[in-house]
Amino acid sequence: MKKEITLLAISMFVATGINAQQELTVTHTTAGAMEAEINAALGTTGAEEIQTLIINGDANVTYEDCSAIAAKFPTISLKKLDLGTAKFENDSTPGNKEGASTGAFDIKGNGMQVEEVVLPAGLKVIGPRTFRKFSKMKKINLPNTLVKLGEGCFTGCGSLDLEKLPEGLKTIEGYVFYQAYAMKSLEELPAGLEGVLGALSFAQTSVAISYIPEGITEIGSSAFNANTRPVSLTSLTMYEKLAKIGSNAFKNQKMLNDIELNRMTPPETTEDAFTGIELGKVILYIPKGSRAAYEAVAPWNQMDIYDVLEPPTGIENTEITAIGIYPNPVVNTISISVQDAAMIKSIKIIDLAGTVVKNLHPEGTLTFDVSDLVNGMYFLQLNDDTTVKFIKK
């Protein structure tokens, strides 16, 4: 009798759905056959009862397979889509069909309503629009093997906030994080990014980056267009290879205080690249001897131009490349990001007069307390031959 009562209690517990965690595993054995495989795995269970969907198997998950998943689980009942053991052709999630504005997981113009997505280790590319309008997605693992984020792959993911992007990432195409409204924790871009940073790639986010990686040659139109979002860019460093800045690239980034542009000639820049910013209050630091070139063209000639101060020891970025410091401006603690931390043997903080005001010791950490510094601009000098500027607030 006691056993019967226990079974009855368990049955009632599941029936009411209280804390019930329904998990479905689908073994994908034939490309394009996902719908039939899901139906077989479900049996008599309703799709609306499933909270976690796991896809595994040896067959590649195709565009049609993704569409079948989305069609079968269109509601908010499914919380987690686990593709961690799934296979994708060429280690790339399916992109959108040619000419289509929607992605593989499209549901009548929107994406799936899951809160978490798990991607497989070894994935190299997230295809165009794959996770477009996954509006409730708060969590996704981005494997360190990723080299490319395809156009619009996270467009409209309004609940997503990533603190870091994979270090090996090379390409961010257009619209990647467009309207990812919750994005505010990202403070630096991967040092190895190269080529064009896509149009609207971070538009209508609140990312707080302080430098554009050295390999970037073009910043696309509206790449950091804040529109009506809370603005976050305060100090920005850009490098020699940057040859072009597109229309409205930094529109409405009204907190932008200073720009360090390490080019002897201005990059080709549309006059509206900084629309909505009071340019007369933006300090522009440029190489000594380049003032005439910058004073000759808008919008640079609308800024408060300063020839870059002569580095105390003729510093050039030769030995250590792709340096990141964050946050910048800094209040209490500052962190240094480099590709090879073992190369750093000494760190000095130097004020504008060329005086060493602080010696830092990099043993075991690249995060340091600078709360005792007087507010102002400083140079962080690494190994006596590389510097990067930061502001103490």
- Residue 4's φ and ψ, nearest 5 degrees, are -65, -40
Quickly list DSSP for 330-355.
BSSEEEEE-S-GGG---EEEE-TTS-
Equal CATH topology for 14-130 and 161-313: yes
Work out whether strand 283-286 and strand 258-261 pair parallel, antiparallel, or are unpaired.
parallel
Reported CATH class of domain 14-130: alpha beta
* Cα 265 to chain centroid, rounded: 29
Q: Could you tell me the fold of the domain covering 161-313?
A: 3.80.10
What pLDDT score was predicted for residue 102?
Answer: 85
- Tokens 């394009």 appear where? 32
The pTM of the whole model exceeds 0.85 = no
* Cα 218 to chain centroid, rounded: 17
**What is the number of other CB atoms lying within 10 angstroms of the CB of residue 376?**
10
Determine the Cα–Cα distance for residues 103 and 111; give it in Å rounded to an integer.
8
3-class secondary-structure state, position 14: helix
Residue ranges per structural domain of the chain: 14-130, 161-313, 323-392
Quickly list DSSP for 289-335.
T-HHHHHTSTTGGGSEEEEPPPPTT---SSSS-S-EEESSSBSSEEE
Determine the Cα–Cα distance for residues 304 and 290; give it in Å rounded to an integer.
14
**What is the number of other CB atoms lying within 10 angstroms of the CB of residue 148?**
16
Tens-digit pLDDT profile for the chain (393 aa)? 443 433 333 333 333 332 345 999 999 999 999 999 999 999 999 999 999 999 999 999 999 999 999 999 998 999 999 999 999 999 999 988 777 778 899 988 899 999 999 999 999 999 999 999 999 999 999 999 999 999 999 999 999 999 999 999 999 999 999 999 999 999 999 999 999 999 999 999 999 898 999 999 999 999 999 887 777 789 999 998 999 999 999 999 999 999 999 888 899 999 999 999 999 999 999 888 889 999 999 999 999 998 764 443 333 443 445 577 888 888 999 988 877 777 788 899 988 777 889 999 888 788 999 999 998 888 888 887 677 888 888
DSSP one-letter code for 107:
B
Upper half-sphere CA count for residue 243 (Cβ side, 13 Å): 6
What pLDDT score was predicted for residue 344?
Answer: 84
Entry field: residues in the chain: 393
Determine the Cα–Cα distance for residues 104 and 162; give it in Å rounded to an integer.
22
Reported CATH class of domain 323-392: mainly beta
What pLDDT score was predicted for residue 319?
Answer: 45
